[in-house]
Amino acid sequence: MTTQELVAQIKKKKSFLCIGLDVDLDKIPPHLLKEEDPVFAFNKAIIDATHHLCVSYKPNTAFYEAYGLKGWKSLEKTINYLNENYPGIFTIADAKRGDIGNTSTMYAKAFFEDLAFDSVTVAPYMGKDSVEPFLAFEDKHTIMLALTSNEGAFDFQTKQINDKELYKHVLETSKSWKNFENLMYVVGATKAEYFTEIRKIVPNSFLLVPGVGAQGGNLQDVCKYGLSENIGLLINSSRGIIYASNKTDFAEAAAKKALELQVQMADILS
Amino acid sequence: MTTQELVAQIKKKKSFLCIGLDVDLDKIPPHLLKEEDPVFAFNKAIIDATHHLCVSYKPNTAFYEAYGLKGWKSLEKTINYLNENYPGIFTIADAKRGDIGNTSTMYAKAFFEDLAFDSVTVAPYMGKDSVEPFLAFEDKHTIMLALTSNEGAFDFQTKQINDKELYKHVLETSKSWKNFENLMYVVGATKAEYFTEIRKIVPNSFLLVPGVGAQGGNLQDVCKYGLSENIGLLINSSRGIIYASNKTDFAEAAAKKALELQVQMADILS
């Protein structure tokens, strides 16, 4: 999917919502546990109930890998189901990968070819040659961690390098990388005041914003400082939507929560 | 496996060699491609031929994920084969994971429980609460990227924060984390001159050292500056050993290359 197609989807749906599919067997409705593949059954129901309210789904690979082969199978079924039934959806493998050149190419193949995701999240610590192999894939997007929503973000990301925080250095440096136009960034919603500074460095890039809802971030604040000319935001909510109920009405409850956010987004966009 | 047991293995085998199982179907002997699981067949032959010369194997997960479900199955078979047949081997899942707290716990479960690895590599960018969930597992080890062997290491890792490079800041900060004793570090062999400085910060920690051989690092230099009282080094070689031949003699050729390194290590240890 191209960036232009993503923007068109956002305008059409009046939504820049991304739903995180972080599926934990301890948290899904117990009646699903008797299904052959409870994780996929859960995802399918959530997707069918919410696809018109969001533009993106983001399975976090940790939750699938924790269940081993079975989990990887659930992930494969989920991405195939999305691509077959909802081709307008922008799919994100939240994998936070990164390794030396030839190895990053293998990760890119895993997520862009074997599993046909539109994008994958990566970590910046190993620098340019760990990220460029992902950027080489046409019409695929690489979403690099910049400023994350957790407490540990203050351990290194906000430390000063020559009077500039590490995350700003990461943003600036990445602008010179080959196929930079395929790069997006993760910026946590819990740090809304930072968006002004970030927009000075990457005015037009898409930002994937976790931390709205369960982690305490505020949608209005993020949009106030983070919206770009081309919208440029994907707001992620995971637990707040998918675990809205753990009874048989879980999918409708999720849709209700997603609708609440979509209505706010439509208002912001108008 | 405890650190003491790892050190005992090193002394017994007179080797601190780790063999990287980065298996690429384009590089393995073509005659293996007719096997039901060529990747596992390759690993099994390499392991059987070299297990007495090394103390550790390190599959890089990228190479398995690139083959999807089949690849994950090969990884599972490889770790199970190692644990069943060579329980004295220290196993490393080279996965470079890292995410917010509860998600890192899922990754830890994936590699420490579902796949019973002794250790996993992680990235430091997200800080303390992204790494501590791994450290919480008893007798398991977390190997954090400090200074990597690639060119991109100079993009961020060596940048100065208050007159101290980022990688040193990462090393120092991590010493205060809970269960620090379960932490090891990745330090590239291509930067042997840095080991003196690193040993001032973490005198006793184990360092996993990639980059000897194919990437140009020198074993003697690394040992000169990197050996600790308790040895404290695991030297990794991947391509230089496993792709020594791509004919039917590939396993013996790998053993020959591994022996060359083991002999040098025995000499250094004596």
**Residue with structure tokens 């390759």?**
B42
Q: Find the residue in B nearest to A161 (Cα).
A: B161
Q: What single string gives the DSSP state of each residue in A141-163? A: EEEEEEE-SSTTHHHHTTSEETT
Across A35-60, average pLDDT: 98
Residue B93 CA to residue B18 CA, distance in Å, equals 12
Residue A15 CA to residue A53 CA, distance in Å, equals 7
Task: Indicate whether A215 pLDDT > 80.
Answer: no
Q: Please, which pLDDT band fits residue B214 given cuts at 50, 70 and 90? A: low
Catalytic option among A14, A96, A128, A256: A96
More confident residue, A268 or B215: A268
**Cβ–Cβ below 8 Å for A99 and B96:** yes
**Cβ–Cβ below 8 Å for B68 and A130:** no
Retrieve residue A197's tokens.
């500074």
Dmax (CA) of chain A = 57
CA-based nearest residue to A106, from B179, B95, B100:
B95
Residue B106 CA to residue B103 CA, distance in Å, equals 5
**Cβ–Cβ below 8 Å for B151 and A129:** yes
Contact B76, B59 (CB under 8 A): no
Across A169-181, average pLDDT: 98
Residues of A in contact with B97 (CB under 8 A): 62, 96
Domain that holds residue A182: 3-269
Q: How many helices (H) and strands (E) does chain A have?
A: 12, 10
Q: Please, which pLDDT band fits residue A210 given cuts at 50, 70 and 90? A: very high
Residue B243 CA to residue A146 CA, distance in Å, equals 37
Residues of A in contact with B107 (CB under 8 A): 62, 65-66
Chain B 178-237, residues with CB within 8 Å of chain A CB atoms: none
Residues of B in contact with A107 (CB under 8 A): 62, 65-66
What backbone phi and psi angles, to 5 degrees, belong to B255?
-60, -40
Q: What single string gives the DSSP state of each residue in B149-218? A: SSTTHHHHTTSEETTEEHHHHHHHHHTTSTTGGGEEEEE-GGGGGGHHHHHHH-SSS-EEE--BSTT-B-
Q: Which pLDDT tens digit goes with each residue over A139-162?
A: 999 999 999 999 999 999 999 988
Residues of B in contact with A149 (CB under 8 A): 100
**pLDDT, position A4:** 97
Buried b (16+ CB within 10 A) or exposed e, B131-159: bbbbbebeebbbbbbbbbbbebbebbbeb
Option in B114, B127, B154 nearest A66 (CB): B114
Across B62-78, average pLDDT: 97
Residues of A in contact with B159 (CB under 8 A): 161-162, 166, 169
**Cβ–Cβ below 8 Å for B63 and A109:** no
Across A188-193, average pLDDT: 83
Q: Please, which pLDDT band fits residue A218 given cuts at 50, 70 and 90? A: confident
ipTM, interface predicted TM-score of the complex? 0.96
| CATH code of the domain in which B34 resides | 3.20.20.70
Contact B69, A76 (CB under 8 A): yes
| Angstroms from B44 CA to nearest CA on chain A | 20
**Residue with structure tokens 């969930």?**
B133
Across A22-36, average pLDDT: 97
Mean pLDDT of chain B: 96
Q: Is the CB of A98 inside 8 Å of chain B's CB atoms?
A: yes
**Cβ–Cβ below 8 Å for A161 and B161:** yes
Residue B114 CA to residue A176 CA, distance in Å, equals 40
Across A208-214, average pLDDT: 83
Least confident span in A165-179, A205-219, B222-236: A205-219
Option in B60, B104, B125 nearest A145 (CB): B125
Of the residues B125, B157, B161, the best mutation for testing chain A's interface (the one with the most A CB atoms within 10 Å of its CB) is: B125
- Concerning whether A44 is annotated as a catalytic residue, the answer is no
Across A88-113, average pLDDT: 97
Retrieve residue B179's tokens.
């269960």
Of the residues B65, B70, B238, the best mutation for testing chain A's interface (the one with the most A CB atoms within 10 Å of its CB) is: B65
Across B158-184, average pLDDT: 96
Domain count, chain A: 1
Task: Indicate whether A216 pLDDT > 80.
Answer: no
| Other CB atoms within 10 Å distance of the CB of residue B126 | 29
Residues of A in contact with B104 (CB under 8 A): 62
Name the residues of B annotated as catalytic.
96
Q: Is the CB of B146 inside 8 Å of chain A's CB atoms?
A: no
Dmax (CA) of chain B = 57
Task: Indicate whether A97 pLDDT > 80.
Answer: yes
Chain B 50-89, residues with CB within 8 Å of chain A CB atoms: 60, 62-63, 65-69, 71-73, 76
User: Alpha carbon of B169 to those of A236, B127, B161, B165, B190: distances in Å?
Assistant: 31, 11, 8, 6, 20
Mean pLDDT of chain A: 96
Q: Helix H segments across B212-249? A: 219-226, 239-242
Residues of B in contact with A129 (CB under 8 A): 150-152
Task: Indicate whether A212 pLDDT > 70.
Answer: yes
- B4: which residues sit within 8 A by CB, 6+ positions away? none
